[in-house]
Amino acid sequence: MVTKNFRDNFAKIAPYVSGEQPKMDGLIKLNSNENPYPPSPKVKKAAATIESAKLSLYPSSDAEELIDKLADYHGLKTENVFVGNGSDEVLGLAFRAFFNSELPIAYPDITYSFYPVWCEFFKIPFVTFALDDSFRINADDYIAPNGGVVITNPNAPTSIGERTDFIRKILDNNRDVVVIVDEAYVDFGGSSSIELIQEYDNLLVVHTFSKSRSLAGIRVGACFGNSELIAVMNTVKNSFNSYPVDTIAQKLAIASLDDESYFSDIVHEIITTRENTVKALEQLGFHTLESSTNFIFTTHESIHAKEIFVHLREDKILVRYFNKPRIGNYLRITIGTAAQMDALIESLERLI
Amino acid sequence: MVTKNFRDNFAKIAPYVSGEQPKMDGLIKLNSNENPYPPSPKVKKAAATIESAKLSLYPSSDAEELIDKLADYHGLKTENVFVGNGSDEVLGLAFRAFFNSELPIAYPDITYSFYPVWCEFFKIPFVTFALDDSFRINADDYIAPNGGVVITNPNAPTSIGERTDFIRKILDNNRDVVVIVDEAYVDFGGSSSIELIQEYDNLLVVHTFSKSRSLAGIRVGACFGNSELIAVMNTVKNSFNSYPVDTIAQKLAIASLDDESYFSDIVHEIITTRENTVKALEQLGFHTLESSTNFIFTTHESIHAKEIFVHLREDKILVRYFNKPRIGNYLRITIGTAAQMDALIESLERLI
């Protein structure tokens, strides 16, 4: 086909519509699953001592220091670790690296909304399987020929975490494809499958610095797997962008990993605030799914989620509402500080 | 095809082998076209005042402040500007955005080595046209049906810049496809085609902060084009990674654009050092192509480039040698500080 117009060659991709990010003073932002606490003071200190002269040079393409640190942190070898420009880039590159079958890849119908987007971007066929009536993933759905499997665990926006045995069942029944387990929220009470990479050479576990480590602003994600999978990830990365994690981001991510006590303190604080919020919401007539994440997924016994969303927004409290089948009467609410959640409860008390 | 082994689904991509980046004390690094000067003192100041609390939040997906600044700097509208994680990401996304024809895209045989890599990554057919005997691009080669055109101007590794009329000729003969002009080195004496975007709605001009702005370490690239092209770039970006340019990188890039006098000083210094280096090399029997970049491409009248490369490396001076047809007797030498280039000349005097 000879084109008649340069527009004929544009990518046939539907624009992805992300959640609103309005800017207003006094906004309580509980819509993006960001961490309400700043990163470790060690991160601030590292940022203050950046050597300007080093910025003229390209970052280390292999990100050795950060990869060494992550390997050490998780008790792995460096050959089991890969880092990228946020876990979104890591996942996108993993789709390109491992999902090249003619069979569709499989993932749940209600999960991270970017999976179909990457499938379109890389022209990967996919099929989705419905969560059950309790919004749980049915492992049996993934016992069938497919081109790969992606499981978010804990899942989003449901907040529900599955135990390692569940992941093991999916792995045992999918030895002929790569299984990606996206653990963006695992630090808030989930069960990590990271140790299973020693046992399953087809398992890739993806982590992010954007949630539990309060570093969404610097874009660092990582994945862990058998050295063979990591080698393919490196080949694919080096075929797209050799230096995706910049010099400063690498330095600040290392500083974060160097402060385990701060990390566990804020994670613990968020879990405590979450449990208190769930109890307070229960007294107001909310039913909340059991969360292993830094957000909750909740529905009210009589007032529609959309109405609650609009009311909260008027009170400058932003939560996430999905106008979609099955979850249209639920709200996804990020766990903020105790004070922010008190403001949320007070606003809801005025409505209910 | 049902796969029998998860390895069957791995991406069929040959690993890209980048130039060596050895670590040794006292190395004079003239092999990566990095800037020998640090970024503006304003960048250092901006880095020292990063608000740690802001790092918990995702960066602006639209990178408004940086895009506003770039639009203002170049006298464009914000709808004409796009930014990404280095110009490599910008170029990679542009290939995905605009090169979807069944006809091959066209570019020179000797040019930026990443173009065939992105073609493989995104499965884009391509054809290359040989540079002429003076290593110049022949515009007539690009007057034929194709799926798009990519021209690096000034070209690398040849260092030769073409005037705007040359780009105009390619544009006039390729109105039915997108033409990408990669201007990574334009600030060192090239002719920018950025003003032509008002006239040609199929022109995308790509810039980087890694060369003239001494910011290779923070990964910021940009492109400029008709609002329609930029909208497609945004759709494609949002289908891969919503927040590729982190909060700190955006801030430091803006600080760099705020210091025009420092920028023009170091660019002028590099051009002066380049001209002095070319003269000194000429006296030693080198023939150097006319450079509009921060590097030179040079060959010696009697000693083979490989031998010179090895000799310089023994003196801890690293330059780039390409073991490839036609350019195998040339060296690509980045322009460093005057002192670094003096050390280069002294080392060569010992050899010759």
Q: Domain residues of chain A, as ranges?
A: 20-39+261-351, 54-257
A&B contacts, CB < 8 Å? 277
Q: Residue B6 and residue A178: Cβ atoms within 8 Å? A: yes
The class of domain A54-257 in CATH terms is alpha beta
3-state secondary structure of B214: coil
Low-confidence ranges of chain A (pLDDT < 70): 1-3
pLDDT for residue A1: 42
CB-nearest to B239 from A13, A47, A56 is A13
B chain contacts of residue A29, beta-carbon cutoff 8 Å: 57
pLDDT digits (tens, 9 = 90+) for B240-262: 999 999 999 999 999 999 999 99
Contacts of A12 in chain B (CB under 8 A): 100
| CA nearest to A181, candidates A241, A108, A249, A243 | A108
Angle at A54 between CA A52 and CA A55, to 5 degrees: 70
Which CATH class for the A20-39+261-351 domain?
alpha beta
How many angstroms away from the CA of A97 is the closest CA of chain B? Answer: 5
Q: Residue B261 CA to chain centroid, in angstroms? A: 23
What fold is seen in the domain B56-257?
Aspartate Aminotransferase; domain 2 (3.40.640)
Is the model's pLDDT at B77 over the cut of 70? yes
Residue B24's pLDDT band, with cuts at 50, 70 and 90, is: confident
pLDDT digits (tens, 9 = 90+) for A291-325: 999 999 999 999 999 999 999 999 999 999 999 99
Calpha distance B157→B150 (Å, rounded): 15
Q: Tell me, what's the pLDDT at A2? A: 46
C-alpha to C-alpha distance for A104 and A92, rounded to whole angstroms: 16
Domains A20-39+261-351 and A54-257 belong to one CATH topology: no
Q: Is the pLDDT of residue B327 over 50?
A: yes
pLDDT confidence of residue B18: 74
CA distance A220 to B53: 17
Reported as a single tens digit per residue, the pLDDT across B92-135 is: 999 999 999 999 999 999 999 999 999 999 999 999 999 999 99
CA gyration radius, chain A: 21
Q: How far is B68 from chain A (nearest CA, A)?
A: 17
Residue type for position A212: S
Q: Judge if the upstream peptide bond of residue B59 is cis by omega within 30 degrees of 0.
A: no
What's the CATH fold of domain B21-39+261-351?
Answer: Aspartate Aminotransferase, domain 1 (3.90.1150)
Q: pTM of the predicted model, to two decimals?
A: 0.96
Residue B304's pLDDT band (cuts 50, 70, 90): very high
Average pLDDT, chain B: 96
Q: Residue A160: its pLDDT value, please?
A: 98
Average pLDDT, chain A: 96
Using one digit for the tens of pLDDT, what is the confidence trace for B185-227? 999 999 999 999 999 999 999 999 999 999 999 999 999 999 9
Residue among B5, B52, B240 whose CB faces A92 most closely: B240
For B80-92, the pLDDT digits (tens) are 999 999 999 999 9
Distance CA B80, CA B99 (A): 19
Q: What percent of chain B has pLDDT over 90?
A: 92
Residue B2 confidence (pLDDT): 46
